[in-house]
Structure 1
Amino acid sequence: MDLTAGHVWVMVSAALVLLMTPGVAFFYGGMTRAKAALNMMMMSFISMGLVAVVWVLWGYSMTGGAGIGQLFGNPFASFGMTGLLNTEDLITAGYGATFAIITVALISGAIADRSKFGAWAIFVPIWATLVYCPIAYMVWGGGLLSAEGVLGSWAGEAIDFAGGTVVHINAGVAGLILALIIGKRKGFGKDPSQRPHNIPLVMIGAALLWFGWFGFNGGAAGSAQEAGLIWINTMAAPAAAMLGWLVTERIRDGRPTSLGAASGVVAGLVAITPACANVSPLGAIGLGIVAGVLAALAVGLKYKLGYDDSLDVVGVHLVAGLIGTLALGFIALPVDGAGGGLFYGGGFAQLGAQTVAAVFSIVYCAILTSIIGLVIHKTIGFRVSVEEETAGVDLTQHAETAYEFGGLGMGGAFQPVPAAEGSSIVQEGVKA
């Protein structure tokens, strides 16, 4: 196999996307309480370990090739990727792995501060196998929602260039389901200590995400012209979304915030993901503004509706993912003068296709995630005890703390004790 510029670009893009998961770890880690920062970051890192192994063994095989009922590929067709040796398919397989990894990691933000690490480690490979891989196959691998599939041929082919349905709607729905199953944190909506403890860490995470997103969106570009459009749109949409979010905060709350700037960037990146190769730069700016404003408003729904989506996975990823996916029905560019969205005279066909793909993905993910989450929750339990939550999941789940100077954000320093000396992992109430 000769290594071409295209191969190199896909490999570089894969490295950029893999870096995004540590970016998620920083982004989420800074948004939690100080006594849950390490646990939050570990949920992203363990996702890298588990999903990468699943992907090599059977995950990649499930996202392509001969399908089983147009729902998923044969998991044994390329088991262990042994059949891909000495082929260039290994490059695209590696690129696909990074998408699966970050999708799972995104879910973790919805259940921050209160989840058992062991339960999460069980959830990750099961969800990747039963939810992510089938959705990826149905949208990208020739399955149910593709042009060759039953729904795709009936409703028309939905556009999802880099993962509006496969990644963001999928992760947002799963996060909401798990948040409902596990329940609210103690003091949800009332305890001031549940505010983000390290905003600079959040902004570093957002910067890494924006950097990596150029590979996320651009890795599958088919030409230099398409790559250029994707690059500009991936710059313009999050920039506009950040401005939209900050203006919304200024009008609603009286001042813009650093957290809002970081969150607005991510909302814009989410919204442009499915549309990056199919809208004009002006369309990307408009899409970004709409996503920034609506996501900024959506993050407050959890207080009105009573679900504890700790780090706004629903408000950012589900809402902005839906906006980007459905917006293609209005602003998708025509191809060779035909088709396109409503604003380009393409009629309702593209909007119908986008709606069918989004609704199906939501329903499929909600049902499967509910089953997986409930089984884990009703057997080994998904949530830590109130005492462990109060002490902090860093200490109770990992016997570590992110900060050692005076128990920052912890209301005192908690000292671990050997299991043989007591029934609890921590000794509560020891003040610094």
Structure 2
Amino acid sequence: MLAMTVPGLALFYGGMVRRKNVIATVAQCFAITAVISVVWMVLGYSLAFSENPSADLNAYVGGFGAAMLNGIGIDDVSGSIPQYLFVVFQMTFAIITPALIVGAFAERMKFSAMLLFMILWSLVVYAPVCHWVWGGGFMSEHGVLDFAGGTVVHINAGVAGLVCALVLGKRKGYGTDNMAPHNLVLTMIGASLLWVGWFGFNAGSAVAANGLAAVAMLNTQVATAAAAVAWMIIEWVERKKPGMLGLASGAVAGLVAITPAAGFVNPQGALIIGLVGGAAAYAGAVWIKRALKYDDSLDVFGVHGVAGIAGALLTGLLADAAIGGDAAANASLGAQFFGIIGTVVWCAVATFVILMILKFTLGLRVSEEAEVDGLDISQHGEALHET
């Protein structure tokens, strides 16, 4: 699962940016992997999964009892697996969620501001939302279903990405300069690694090698393939040619859409979720962005936000009690909508506040000269040379 971020997401994003920003983009993904691993061990896991001493506050955030993983022993278990294994399993979710946001502000954010933003966002936004859904918080009590991260990971990251794109503004030359991806082969390789790694996300969320893990894995494959096909067909009709970038984006949209539903729906439901998710993501990444003219560089909101919302809603409609048991039997569109709205509102407001704090202290955006030169040179003093 760690390979989903490095090298998977790093290559997926790195291939889509311009040549002068490749190293900066992959460095952001790599640095987030390192920094958030430490943040999760020190405090993030505790805020997400420990019990808050205050019963009232426990509905919203965990406590500090497991800070630095204090009190966890080698023989302790979480469900059916060692708790240390659960810590590192959840760490991979905590890593990739902020890393996804990178695509929204690609090619224009200062590396120092990016690091501080990710640390604060991980603690203020990700950990509480994770607690709401998976840590015994109020969303789980309201029946919100999220098998492997539809709200916690994708809606969260998608909304944060949109806020980042709006606050930072458009890249210099957006709409006039050529900003085509520099290497779609890298993007294809990255998407493929994400596809394979996602089986660990979704099937692994069964926390056992059993029938539920098997159906989650099958659902993941079916939905991903269906979404890639849906995006390809729509693009083929609209642009007269099916693109590799579209295939990769559609596949990722399918992975996103099936994530909340993987362990709650049957394969027929997964097929529907994939087709709808791919079409919804195309609409978000192409039509909505074109209409509203915002610069979400690598379509984080269009793919993760929109497909995540579609998947979360369809989970409420298509949940099958024969697959997901009592939780699926009690699924409702209302509960899913409640989870979506709560996540969107908290994430949007908290993300905006964090960005404003950084904007008026450290500063968010590189200088115009640095942006023209490229972040590889201006932020890292390195460049991608011809071989």
4+ runs deviating over 3 angstroms: 335-341
Find 1:385's aligned residue among 345, 367, 378.
367
Task: Select which of 74, 85, 103 maps to 2:97.
Answer: 103
2:270 match: 284
Cα distance in 2 between the residues matched to 1:338 and 1:108: 37
Q: Residue 73 of structure 1: SS of its match in structure 2?
A: coil
1:367 aligns with 2:349: yes
Paired position in structure 2 for 1:350: 332
Structure 1: gaps of 5 or more residues:
1-16, 406-432
Name whichever of 294-303 and 315-324 sits farther off.
Answer: 294-303
CA contact (8 A) 1:331 1:340 kept: no
Q: Which 10-residue stretch deviates more, 392-401 or 295-304?
A: 295-304
Show the counterpart of 1:225: 211
- Aligned to 2:332, the other structure's residue is in SS state helix
Report the Cα distance in structure 2 between the residues aligned to 1:335 and 1:235, rounded to whole angstroms. 20
Alignment partner of 1:315 out of 257, 282, 302: 302
Whole-angstrom CA distance in 1 between matches of 2:17 and 2:185: 13
Give CA deviations for 1:142-194 in whole Å, capped at 9, x if unaligned: 012112xxxx1xxxx011000000000000000011111111001112211x1
Task: Quote how far apart the aligned CAs of 1:303 are.
Answer: 2.7
Alpha-carbon spacing, 1:371–1:336, altered in 2? closer, same or farther (3 Å):
closer
- Structure 2 spans left out of the alignment, 5+ residues: 76-81
Q: Is the 8 A contact 1:35 1:401 kept in 2?
A: yes
Query: 2 CA distance for matches of 1:190 and 1:366?
Result: 29
Q: Does 1:131 align with 2:116?
A: no
**Structure 1 counterpart of 2:45:** 60
- Residue of structure 2 in register with 1:212 after alignment: 197
Query: 1:369 is paired with a residue of what secondary structure?
Result: helix
State the SS of the aligned residue for 1:45: helix
Q: Distance in 1 between matches of 2:323 and 2:184?
A: 46
How far apart are residue 306 of structure 1 and its match?
2.0
Pairwise mapping of residues 266-345 of structure 1 onto structure 2 (< 5 A)?
266-300=252-286, 301-334=288-321
Q: What is the TM-score with the length of structure 1 in the denominator?
A: 0.84
Contact 2:312–2:336 (CA<8 Å) still a contact in 1? yes
**After superposition, where does 1:73-222 map in structure 2 within 5 Å?**
73-74=62-63, 76-87=64-75, 88-147=82-141, 152=142, 157-192=143-178, 194-221=179-206, 222=208
Aligned residues: 374
Offset, 1:404:
4.0
Q: Is the 8 A contact 2:32 2:118 kept in 1?
A: yes
User: Please, what TM-score do these two structures have when normalized by structure 2?
Assistant: 0.93
Report how far residue 57 of structure 1 moved.
0.7
Partner residue, 2:78: none
SS at match of 2:383: coil
CA distance in 2, matches of 1:230, 1:297: 26
The amino acid across from 1:145 in the alignment is M
Identical-pair percentage: 45
> In 1, distance between residues paired with 2:231 and 2:355?
32
Offset at residue 220 of structure 1 (A): 2.3
Within 2, Cα distance between the matches of 1:158 and 1:180?
29
The residue type paired with residue 29 of structure 2 is: S
C-alpha distance in structure 1 between counterparts of 2:324 and 2:149, whole Å: 25
1:91-119 Cα offsets, whole Å, 9 max, x none, are: 10110100000001000000001110010
| Aligned with 1:256 (options 242, 251, 256) | 242
User: For 1:251-284, what per-residue CA distance to the aligned partner results, in whole angstroms no more than 9, with x for missing partners?
Assistant: 1100100001111110000000000011111111
Structure ranking higher in helix proportion:
2
RCO (CA 8 Å, sep 6+): is it higher in 1 or 2?
2
Q: Is the 8 A contact 2:265 2:324 kept in 1?
A: no
State the SS of the aligned residue for 2:114: helix
Instruction: Give the partner amino acid of 2:253.
Output: A
The DSSP-based 3-state class of the residue aligned with 1:400 is coil
Give the Å deviation of 1:307.
1.2
2:281, 2:306 within 8 Å by CA — same for their partners in 1?
Answer: yes
Matched-pair contact (CA < 8 Å) for 1:169–1:321 = yes
Distance 1:334 1:282 in 2: 14
Instruction: Tell me, yes or no, if the aligned pair for 1:38 and 1:394 is still in contact at 8 Å.
Output: yes
CA distance in 2, matches of 1:81, 1:292: 39
Q: What RMSD in Å do the two structures reach over aligned CA positions?
A: 1.6
Contact kept? 1:62, 1:134, Cα under 8 Å:
yes
The Cα of 1:206 is off from its aligned counterpart by 0.3
Bigger radius of gyration:
1
Amino acid at match of 2:256: V
Is the contact made by 1:333 and 1:340 (CA closer than 8 Å) also made in structure 2? no
Structure 1, residues 360-388: CA drift from partner, whole Å, max 9, x if none?
00001011100001111122111011111
Instruction: Determine the C-alpha separation between the residues in 2 that align with 1:279 and 1:54.
Output: 34
Structure 2 residue matching 1:379: 3-state secondary structure = coil
Separation in 2 of the partners of 1:340 and 1:73? Answer: 23
